[in-house]
Amino acid sequence: MTGTTASIKIGETSAELPILKGTLGPEVVDIRRLTHDTGVFTFDPGYGETASCVSKITFIDGDKGILLHRGYPIEQLAEHASYPEVIYLLLNGELPNKSQHETFVNTLTNHTLLHEQIRNFFNGYRRDAHPMAILCGTVGALSAFYPDANDISRSESRDLSAMRLIAKIPTIAAWAYKYTIGEPFVYPRNDLNYAENFLSMMFARPSEPYKVNQVLARAMNRILILHADHEQNASTSTVRLAGSTGANPFACIAAGIAALWGPAHGGANEAVLKMLSRIGSKDNIPDFISKVKDKNSGVKLMGFGHRVYKNFDPRAKIMQATCHEVLSELGIKDDPLLDLAVELENIALSDDYFVQRKLYPNVDFYSGIILKAMGIPTSMFTVLFAVARTTGWISQWKEMIEEPGQRISRPRQLYMGSPQRDLLPLDKRS
């Protein structure tokens, strides 16, 4: 992993820093001895140029539009794998064989039920509470029901916590939705797969039989896979940061949910729908595009561009195809939001302003339209994101805990406040 060295000179001091080379991606300068040798820190707001960890889970090449999970392209996984297969892959490093898959799915299925006392938690929330608030609070409280999760030193305990979280979070999410609309909770069914079960708990009612639409189930399976992990993003880094303190996994995942709640992260697809609604019609697109180009207008083009991708988001292409499949299955031929989205995409991709800045559609541009068509309200968009991303979060958490020499995270700062000064008595202060 170690290659050559980088020489750095600061004033009269100098340092030789190792250059680390990974399997893929840019080489990384190891600055762990920089402060010791030179007395200075680095300054990188947002950590956009800093590798915070060593990981074997997900690789992204934003310039080429590549996303790999354990080496497998996201396009292949979304097209040919089930979400439980991807869960197994992210957790264990390899895809399961037939026997491993059967055992894993059975174990996952047997953990979908919630402790009956957890039902009481929901009654403590207001009926108009945001589902993300319910999800965050309930997931954080799971440690009260599973105190054995606090022993993170045992691999068996870590594995069991991972299965509990991944299996139970769809149940919590669906119940959060049911609670806010005043419908009875629907229990998980062992005869349904992961995606089917989530749809059943969301939309089934005791008063009538519920049959899962297989086109919608396949779409949900893809949505879950496309959101399963995305390297060291804000919420994943939050999980790792919290986990570095030795906190239990339920608290760490709750921290990730809280970070995901931000509109700049997990709420982006909801923001796309709001943007399309504000535009209103195709006739208003030129004026909207003009405002986007005007830096003083405050108008943003949501769903385009990405902090990482400087090319097409590979997930967006899959989501676009899935969008048409869902709308066709549901008989939605002239959806005004979809028509607006397509027209906006065509204009943006042919406009030099956006082309030069490489502002391509990302995964959020079409996902909101799909979820809306499936009957999932906008308040549940980020919740669904959290359901999928729990797999990535817990995989990253396990990897971090099992890393030899793992340390508590402690970022530094550039202090710009007052220098040291003496405190004056109250009557002598101006």
What's the CA gap between 149 and 144, in Å, rounded? 9
Contacts of 385 (CB under 8 A, 6+ apart): 227, 260, 266, 269
Closest CA to 149 of 246, 237, 223, 76: 246
Letter string b/e over residues 52-87, b meaning 16 or more CB atoms within 10 A of that residue's CB: eeebebbbbbbeebbbbbbebebeebbeebbbbbbb
Q: What is the DSSP letter of 2?
A: E
Is-contact 167 173, C-beta < 8 A? Answer: no
Which helix (DSSP H) or strand (DSSP E) does residue 17 occupy?
Answer: strand 13-20
Whether 306 is a known active-site residue: answer yes
Catalytic one among 306, 313, 352, 427?
Answer: 306
- Which pair of structure tokens corresponds to residue 75? 């396009």
What's the CA gap between 125 and 280, in Å, rounded? 35
Whether 111 is a known active-site residue: answer no
Q: Is 379 helix (H, G, I), strand (E, B) or coil?
A: helix
- Give me the sheet containing 13-20, strands edge to edge: 2-10, 13-20, 28-29
Active site residues: 306, 364
